[in-house]
Amino acid sequence: MKLWGGRFTSGTDALVDDFNSSIRFDGRLYKHDINGSIAHATMLGLCDIINKSEAELICSGLSDILQDIEAGKIQFEISAEDIHMNIEKLLIERIGEVGKKLHTGRSRNDQVALDIRMYLKDEIFNITKLLKDLLQLLIETSEKNLEVILPGYTHMQRAQPITLAHYLMAYFQMFRRDVERLSDCYLRTDWMPLGSGALAGTTYPLDRDFVSQLLGFANITENSLDAVSDRDFVIELASCISIIMMHLSRFSEEMVIWSSHEFGFVEMDDAYSTGSSIMPQKKNPDVAELVRGKTGRVYGDLMAMLTIMKSLPLAYNKDMQEDKEAIFDAVDTVKMCLPVFTRMLATLKFRSKNMYAAASKGFTNATDFADYLVKKGIPFRTAHEITGHLVLHCIDKNAAIEDLPLNELQSFCDKIESDIYSEISLDTCVKGRSLPGGPSPEAVRLSIDNAKNWLSIV
């Protein structure tokens, strides 16, 4: 007999039981469900809605169930539908009729809203911790590579010389924003919905503020209709995770490219690479490729959530049961990707000589050549045109700008002097860009100091 089966004259079909059940995936909410129920029962006793001794018996029974679940002594039942009914059924079996009083003043609608909020609050903390580990590694690696020069790219074409530290700290800024987004998402998740009932609250004199404080929430929800039908916080977290995965995917893509023979900027550690079943020479960047690939499934989780919710009328609808598999998968995926990516990055070998050699080609100092002419009094547009003609000349001769003798450079502009060679050296090009946010070692040191200060307080 179902706990809700009073108005039914026959049982549900076994196929419907299986189709309707969510215990296969919402079983992971057991701890949050039990803790929420203990808080609810405690409040019922304090408010004299049920006898205090009954409340204590309920709380004791729930604590025992929690211990048995964590000891692996309990198998959840498909026929009991979900984690809420499984726990309540177990409680009634253990303590008898008193267990039937637990559900006084609440509905599974506000109960599941409570559980998922509690669960996701914990997971936001866990994901943030993994991001901080990656951020710390980026700081440490940047400090070791302040002087390493490599080409920066636009349109995947060599553009201007930068430092490896500057490159790594660009990703620091991305993941920093991810931490800030998660923190902001947490604020909207931190609202306690219990007491909203099915949709219209309850006539029992519940102390919602007490339950909220007991469970560590900052606020109580202010509209019962919204409280049971809101999944914005789930969608928002799925969006935050999607952006994290997008950043990991961009980083992974560059590591895949950089580890190729054509680039040769990095070498993957053997522990974070795989081989080919047929080609014995291969060393494949599978970790980076899998992170890149798993980004797509997380985007799918976000799209699923948006689609599930897009046409639902107020208040709760069974469609909303589908939120859990999507958000659980997104959470599990990002928690799987972050630590393995961080370890992969920690074990990378950066090939600084190859980076410098690449920066020496592709005319990455052409902008600095034009700027040199500007400093000699030539308008920038004219300087740009002169430099373009010079680059075309160098391409024809298969030479770099700095390879040409002074008289040949002066044939393009008579204001060029012998100091041109030092002015367009890669070191000068990089060190001269010392504005805040620039790639010079001086500017990046400041960026790293700011990053350390921020990371110490978040």
pLDDT tens by residue, 25-52: 899 999 999 999 999 999 999 999 999 9
The pLDDT score that the predictor gives to residue 10 is 66
Residue 1 has pLDDT above 60, yes or no: no
Q: How many angstroms separate the CA atoms of 263 and 164, rounded?
A: 15
The phi and psi torsions of 11 (rounded to 5 degrees) equal: -80, 165
The pLDDT score that the predictor gives to residue 81 is 87
Q: How many angstroms separate the CA atoms of 149 and 151, rounded?
A: 7
pLDDT in tens, 51-79: 999 999 999 999 999 999 999 999 999 88
Q: Quick count: other Cβ atoms within 10 Å of Cβ 458? A: 12
Running DSSP on this structure, what letter comes out for residue 156?
A: T
Query: CATH classification of 109-149+162-357, choosing from 3.10.20.70, 3.10.290.10, 1.20.200.10, 3.40.50.720?
Result: 1.20.200.10
Residue 331 has pLDDT above 80, yes or no: yes
Nearest by Cα to 164 from 143, 185, 178: 143
The residue from 63, 276, 411, 422 that is catalytic is 276
Q: Which residues contact 58 (CB under 8 A, 6 or more apart)?
A: 37, 38, 41, 91, 95, 98, 99, 101, 102
Residue 304 has pLDDT above 90, yes or no: yes
| Neighbouring-strand partners of residue 274 | 284
The answer to whether 107 is a known catalytic residue is no
CA atoms within 13 A on the CB side of 75: 3
The pLDDT score that the predictor gives to residue 7 is 65
What is the helix (H) or strand (E) element at residue 316, kind and residue range?
none
The phi and psi torsions of 72 (rounded to 5 degrees) equal: 75, 20
The pLDDT score that the predictor gives to residue 21 is 75
Nearest by Cα to 329 from 313, 305, 307: 305
Q: Which residues contact 309 (CB under 8 A, 6 or more apart)?
A: 231, 235, 319, 320, 323
What is the helix (H) or strand (E) element at residue 42, kind and residue range?
helix 30-46
Q: How many angstroms separate the CA atoms of 99 and 122, rounded?
A: 28
CA–CA distances in Å: residue 35 to residues 45, 76, 165, 366: 16, 18, 46, 64
The phi and psi torsions of 37 (rounded to 5 degrees) equal: -70, -35
Percent of the chain at pLDDT exceeding 90: 92
Domain at 360-451: CATH code: 1.10.40.30
Burial class (CB in 10 A: 0-12, 13-18, 19+), 157: exposed
The residue from 10, 155, 311, 456 that is catalytic is 155
Query: CATH classification of 5-104, choosing from 3.30.1330.10, 1.10.275.10, 1.10.645.10, 3.40.440.10?
Result: 1.10.275.10
Q: How many angstroms separate the CA atoms of 192 and 215, rounded?
A: 8
The pLDDT score that the predictor gives to residue 277 is 87
**For residue 315, cis peptide bond before it (omega within 30 degrees of 0):** yes
Q: How many angstroms separate the CA atoms of 317 and 161, rounded?
A: 56
Q: In Å, how far from its chain's centre is CA 214?
A: 29
Mean pLDDT of the chain: 95
Q: Which residues contact 347 (CB under 8 A, 6 or more apart)?
A: 268, 269, 271, 272
Q: Is the dihedral of CA 240, 245, 251, 254 positive or negative?
A: negative
Q: CA-based angle 6:25:310, to the nearest 5?
A: 85
List the alpha helices (DSSP H) in 259-379: 286-309, 323-346, 352-359, 366-375
The pLDDT score that the predictor gives to residue 2 is 58
Residue 351 has pLDDT above 60, yes or no: yes
Cβ(105)–Cβ(197) below 8 Å: yes
Nearest by Cα to 360 from 388, 389, 399, 410: 399
Give the tokens for residue 362: 């592709």
The answer to whether 155 is a known catalytic residue is yes
Radius of gyration of the chain, Cα coordinates, nearest whole angstrom: 31
Q: Is 362 helix (H, G, I), strand (E, B) or coil?
A: coil
Q: Categorize the per-residue pLDDT at 301 as very low, low, confident or very high, splitting at 50, 70 and 90.
A: very high
Domain boundaries, the chain: 5-104, 109-149+162-357, 360-451
The pLDDT score that the predictor gives to residue 14 is 66
The pLDDT score that the predictor gives to residue 397 is 96
Residue 356 has pLDDT above 80, yes or no: yes
Q: Between residues 12 and 428, which one has the greater pLDDT?
A: 428
* Mean pLDDT computed over 389-393: 97
pLDDT in tens, 78-116: 888 899 999 999 999 999 999 999 999 999 999 999 999
Give the tokens for residue 277: 């079943």
pLDDT in tens, 172-192: 999 999 999 999 999 999 999
Cβ(248)–Cβ(330) below 8 Å: no
The pLDDT score that the predictor gives to residue 6 is 61
Give the tokens for residue 64: 């025992």
